Structure 1
Amino acid sequence: MSISVGSTAREQADAVRRREISARELLDLHLDRIRERNPELNAIVSLDEDRARAGAAEADEALAAGAEVGPLHGLPFAFKDTHEVAGWRTTYGSPLFADHVPDADELIVERVRRAGVVVIGRTNVPEFAAGSHTFNKVFGTTLNPVDPTRSAGGSSGGAACALASGMVPLADGSDMGGSLRNPASFCGVVGLRPSLGRVPEWPHANQWETTSVGGPMARNVGDLALLLSVMAGPDPRAPQALGDPGVTFALPLAGSLSGLRVALSTDLGGAIEVDHDVASIVESAGSVFGSVTAAAPLLTEADDTFRTLRAWHFQARFGALLAGHPDSFKPSLADNIRAGESLTGADVARAYEQRTTLSERMREFFTAYDVLVLPVSQVPPFPADQEFPTEINGRPMETYLDWMRAAYFITVTGCPAISVPFGTTADGLPVGIQIVAAHGRDRFLLEVAAAFEAALA
């Protein structure tokens, strides 16, 4: 098989291991694509070709010496610019950290590097990963690879764009309010928000606050499962990590849509406003599953729960930094941080009580259904010169969070959710569907997503 940047990550990794292509040659293929697409799209930042070439040479030398290699050996990789990578510039998309170079890898980076990747640079993010449109004052805006006048989504927008355009074969990301799922939908790739505890994080300022999780992105479900098998598994430094080892998610995936109990809702029972084109595309996914029931869990408390916990988290993390540098934050993020200042203990306690209620309600919902299908994003990719959509179907969106409810309502349930490419708008813009399963059923969710993907082939 002739390997190209369009080959699956599994094909590329297998070819390197069989020495059908060297890590150097594979790197050159991807650097050529980066030179072709990145000047316009701005997905990969802090690119370091010299260090990447040195890493590829080391990968080839390890194979030549007969060393045991990891499952991602020789694959070019660019980490999200919010994940700390030892010795590599990590800016968080903020001018305050424009020259920040960490001394150590964080856990997700440690695991992916141990699996054998060749680090080439970073993927662009919004400032401190806040918001689902990727732009910042350090590197500028990442554009959609399908239509460069449109947003690539965020906060893992650089990752999704780089994947979709063939600059990298796999990507990492993180997801608080949809940061793995929204850009996957916008760019036509696959993004998984795992169950709470599936991909442990360390270091972490608060190991007991789990609104944000790390996770994988790929161009297909099989490649995503490969990356999840590297990222997942317990670690003694992360007390809430689930105990299943990463190998649990290794291929093959053997799911089926036959007999699946599918609940489908385009608007979560009227709880969210969804663009008419997006709703129509999600509705049509029912024909792929075969038999679906129009149903949705009651998530009344989700909006207050998410916004309270997000503001509390942001104030705790960035409050002192904002006080010292009040003009160095984008206004929407500064407002979100300041919203946490007025929260009381009773407010936070209420949010956690509501989150518990939502989790229990989802547990009960998944006794009647195997999966829930709904939109990933409430809109198709919007113009890149907007910070966020200001209206949906004529209904005003007052904040940069309003249009993301389809994603963050699921966030506070703790359930795993995957964005899978499905259709396009009349303008040819990608639209994904969001498939959700019960907490802990990540392997099952991948199997369903793989079966759905296969049904579209």
Structure 2
Amino acid sequence: MPADLPPDLWRWSARDLATALRTRRVSAREALAAHHERIDAVNPQVNAVVIEDREGARARAAAADELAATTPPEQLPPLHGLPMTHKDTHLVAGIRSTMGSALTDVVPTSDDLIIARLRAAGANSTGKNNVPEFAAGSHTFNELFGATGNPYAPHLSCGGSSGGAAVVLATGIQALADGSDLGGSLRNPAAFCNVVGYRPSAGIVPVAPTKDAWAWLTISGPMAREVADIALAMSVLAGPDPRVALPCPVDAQAFAPLITATPDPDARPLHGLRVGFTVDFGLGMPVQEPVAQVVIAAREVFDRLGAQVSDACPNLRTADEVFDTYRALAMALSLRELVARYPEEVKPEVGWNVERGVELTGTDLMNATAARTRLRAQVARWFSRFDVLLAPTAQVLPFDLTQRYPEQIAGQPMSSYVDWMRSCSIVSAMGSPAISVPAGFAPADPTATGSGTPELPVGLQIIGAHGDDVRVLAVAQAFEAATRHVDRRPHL
């Protein structure tokens, strides 16, 4: 690298790196070399990047540098030359795809929509990051590649299903990542890894190709180390697609002001914001005490920033029924043929969830539709009185890598592999945009003393009304500026 470049290029934000690439202060080949050096340095400890295309990535970087040599910076795409591994449930033309299973190990010939938009914006696809088998569950492990460790404590879970994506961000392998979220898969790993994960309102980043043009529960979205980089990603990802029937409630240009925004905490940037706060969502949801303590402390930050914070939450009593039914339907629609063909070769949680979807009756679907309608009305009424809702992202701290999922929380048993994710899944059922931002750290063992006890990340979920995505990101950005928890990086 040139002598005037800092040795820690891997620490740069996506915004700074993208600007340097477009202005030729950094070449695409140099950015790629830093990306590969970081993979070699840290990936053996965490197992986040599981598929690489180094030869293809080098060719694309060379082509990007040739384009930059003859093109004015303002005419280059916004992510020109930015290296990215992608979530291994997203198809990337020419790069091996597995979904965490040997049953779906292929080299696709076309891109999923989110990948196509990233590549059109100039991103250099370098490989794939790890996922749970078929993205089922919020713990990243599979029989094909093994488990992905938490960058703050590699013997613990990094969350999931966008777990590999969270880890490549936290470890500095790359500055921007793509993911997807059905019941928390963008938000939960962000909380576990001290990065930012954003679930947009349905329709803003269409999921295509798809078997259900009206699907609303599974969402594509970005992850990053800072909120402004989320806004950068949304400026290239947002927009309708003719293959998806859902309307796009927010234009891509609406995210642009957040890319350069610099909130001043001393100016009380959230003055007058109406904020609801909950730890248990009014449902008696169990939350580990260290998690609750960090989230309660985060509430005080909103008070200092001028917000009007109240203990308040929408009526979410029907949210579990809505999520459970529509999740089962989505799983069966996507995987029923494969599970029928290979019933003994998929993990039991996948088989169980697909079976639930196949067994749904007309009455089940009618009941869930009515419940969703009631839930939507209750949520809309609540957001007519409040601007955002604050809540824990995850109910637990990162758990042992060898566990399939937490079987109990605060003494309460969990009935299934998704039950411990309710703090995210019921928000999915609300149909709301939600972002997880770093909220602080808690000791892995609150009873232990001494410097040998690791501290683990905790995420705060900021939730808004459907279509109010820009406000959700702006609030998250103000909290981020006031706390700078995002600056605390793992030591690998």
TM-score norm. by structure 2 comes to 0.91
Measure the CA separation in 2 of the matches of 1:204 and 1:43.
26
User: Is contact 1:312–1:348 with CA below 8 Å preserved after alignment?
Assistant: no
Deviates more, 1:60-69 or 1:16-25: 60-69
Deviation at 1:87, TM superposition (A): 1.3
**Unpaired runs of 5+ in structure 1?**
none
Q: Deviations over 1:291-348 (max 9, x none)?
A: 4111111111111111111112212221121111111110111111111222101111
Structure 1 position 42 matched with structure 2 position 34:
no
Q: Is the 8 A contact 2:250 2:469 kept in 1?
A: no
Q: 2:243 and 2:212 mapped to 1: Cα distance?
A: 12
- Please name the residue that 1:19 is paired with: 24
Deviation at 1:90, TM superposition (A): 1.0
Q: 1:416 to 1:243 in 2, by over 3 A?
A: closer
Q: Out of 269, 272, 278, which is 2:282 matched to?
A: 269
Residue 295 of structure 2 is aligned to residue 278 of structure 1? no
SS in 2 for 1:412: helix
**What residue is the counterpart of 2:376 in the other structure?**
359
Partner of 2:65: 60
Given the alignment, which residue of 304, 309, 316 partners 1:292? 309
2:148 matched to which residue of 1?
A: 142
Partner residue in 1 for 2:78: 71
1:241 shift after superposition:
3.3
> Which residue matches 2:490?
none
Equivalent-residue separation in structure 2 for 1:180 and 1:401 (angstroms)? 15
Q: How do 1:179-218 and structure 2 match up within 5 A?
A: 179-218=185-224
The answer (yes or no) to whether the contact 2:132–2:141 under 8 Å persists in 1 is yes
Secondary structure, in 3 states, of the residue corresponding to 1:320? helix
* Secondary structure in structure 2 of the residue aligned to 1:28: helix
* SS of equivalent residue, structure 1 residue 378: coil
Secondary structure at the counterpart of residue 39 of structure 2? helix
| Contact 2:183/2:428, CA 8 A, preserved across alignment | yes
Report the equivalent of 1:316: 333
TM-score, with structure 1 as normaliser: 0.97
Q: Does structure 2 conserve the Cα–Cα contact (< 8 Å) formed by 1:90 and 1:102?
A: yes
Q: Secondary structure at the match of 1:104?
A: coil
Q: Which AA in structure 2 matches 1:20?
A: R
Shift of 1:243: 5.0
Q: Which residue of 1 aligns with 2:173?
A: 167
Contact kept in structure 1, 2:190 and 2:459, CA below 8 Å: yes
Moved more, 412-421 or 331-340: 331-340
Deviations 1:264-310 (A, max 9, x none): 10111234111111111111111100041111111111111111111
Q: Quick one: structure 1 residues 261 and 244, their matched pair in 2 at CA, closer, same or farther if it must change by over 3 Å?
A: closer
In the aligned structure 1, how far is the partner of 2:187 from the partner of 2:434?
A: 8
1:133 equivalent to 2:131? Answer no
- 8 A Cα contact 1:195 1:414, kept in partner: yes
Cα distance between partner residues in 1 of 2:37 and 2:247: 39
Equivalent position amino acid for 1:410 in 2 = V
Alignment match, 1:438: 465
Which amino acid is 2:462 matched to? I
Q: Which runs of 5+ in 2 are unaligned?
A: 264-268, 445-454, 485-492
Count of matched residue positions in the alignment of Structure 1 and Structure 2: 456
Displaced runs of 4 or more, over 6 A:
none
Letter in 2 for 1:133: H
2-structure distance, mates of 1:354, 1:241: 22
Greater mean alpha carbon deviation, residues 404-413 or residues 233-242: 233-242
Choose from 96, 113, 116 the match for 1:107. 113
Q: 1:178 aligns with which of 184, 199, 202?
A: 184
**Secondary structure of the structure 1 residue equivalent to 2:58:** helix
Residues 275, 386 of structure 2: 8 Å contact kept: yes
User: Over residues 340-398 of structure 1, what are the superposed CA-to-partner deviations in whole Å (9 max), with x where a residue is unaligned?
Assistant: 22210111121122112111111111111111000100101111110100111111112
> SS state of the match for residue 78, structure 2?
coil
Partners of 1:335 and 1:238 in 2: CA distance: 28
Identity of aligned residues (%): 48
